[in-house]
Amino acid sequence: MAKNVLVKGVPRHSKSSQYRRKGLQYIKNKTTTPKKSIVNKNGGKWYSTVDISGRKLAKKGRGTAVLRKSITKGTVLILLAGRHVGKRVIFLKQLPSGLLLVTGPYHINGVPLRRVDQAYVIATSTKVDLKGVSLPDDFSEELVCRPKAKTVGGKSEKAFFATKKKGRHAFPKPTDARIAASKAVDAQVLERVNKVPYLKEYLARGFSLDNGDYPHLMQF
């Protein structure tokens, strides 16, 4: 029989293909009343002799991702993908969605207040003391999200058939509130970064592999 898991953490079938394979699209909306547990009706003194069948109650969505132990407030992280690949940033906190809130600070390496997934980050052993650094009171995760394109009532026919323009995508400009939040946080972080000798230079310098650099031998 084929293994369902290629190796730990690498499933053979993706989540969506498993969905199809199991035919979950057909039973998604079926309402079933789960049978009540009769195991402990007698105060847990003995197990029931009756087998209990019935579907398990579905878990309520997924929880937020567990933060790796190596990542704590003030940890310097190396970004591994995206626009700011290779830059060193400072970790502030984990957001409700599970993503990490980081800042460059912007003044040092051009990374504003933004979110990253911990899978795309290397945690270094360098930590900045961020005691007393607080986010603005009106801070919410939506502030650092990319604004969604407005598609109320679907695209117009003309827009749908319009050929996409070649060249780089134009990124939406950050909102004023986001810039203000970024500045407010960066001012506090910068103050603490400046206290540590060479930390500013370290953050300004990117991470890059060179010939003869092997990450499996590195101590980050």
Partner 1 sequence: MPRTYVKAVHVGYKRSKVVHYPHTSLLKLEGCNTRKATNFYVGKRVAYVYKGEKKDLKGSTTRYIWGKITRPHGNSGLVRAKFKRNLPPRSFGAPVRVMLFPSNI
Positions that interact with partner 1 (CB under 8 A): 6-10, 68, 70, 78, 80-81, 85-86, 118-123, 164, 166-169, 206-210, 212, 214-217, 220
Give 1 or 119: the residue with its C-beta nearer to partner 1.
119
Q: How far apart are CA 60 and CA 52, in angstroms?
A: 22
The Cβ of residue 186 has, within 10 Å, a number of other Cβ atoms equal to 21
Q: Which is nearer to partner 1, 45 or 62 (CB)?
A: 62
- Nearest CB to partner 1, comparing residues 41 and 83: 83
CA atoms of 45 and 32, how far apart (whole Å): 30
Minimum CB separation of residue 79 from partner 1 in Å reads 8
Smallest gap from Cβ 206 to partner 1, in A, equals 5
- Report, in Å, the least distance between residue 20 CB and partner 1: 17
Cβ 71 to partner 1, closest distance in Å? 10
Q: Smallest Cα–Cα separation from 72: which of 124, 141, 107?
A: 124
C-alpha to C-alpha distance for 91 and 93, rounded to whole angstroms: 6
Which residue shows structure tokens 């909306």? 29
Report the residue number, 132 or 215, with the smaller CB distance to partner 1. Answer: 215
Q: Which CB, 116 or 130, lies closer to partner 1?
A: 116
Q: Report how far residue 83's alpha carbon sits from residue 115's, in angstroms, rounded to the nearest whole number.
A: 12
DSSP bridge pairs for 115: 101
Tokens of 82: 């995206």
Residue 178 CB, nearest approach to partner 1 (Å)? 26
- Among residues 120 and 184, whose Cβ is nearest to partner 1? 120
Alpha carbons 165 and 95: distance in angstroms, whole number: 35
Find the shortest distance in angstroms from Cβ 17 to partner 1: 12
With CA atoms as reference, report the closest residue to 112 among 92, 130, 98, 96: 92
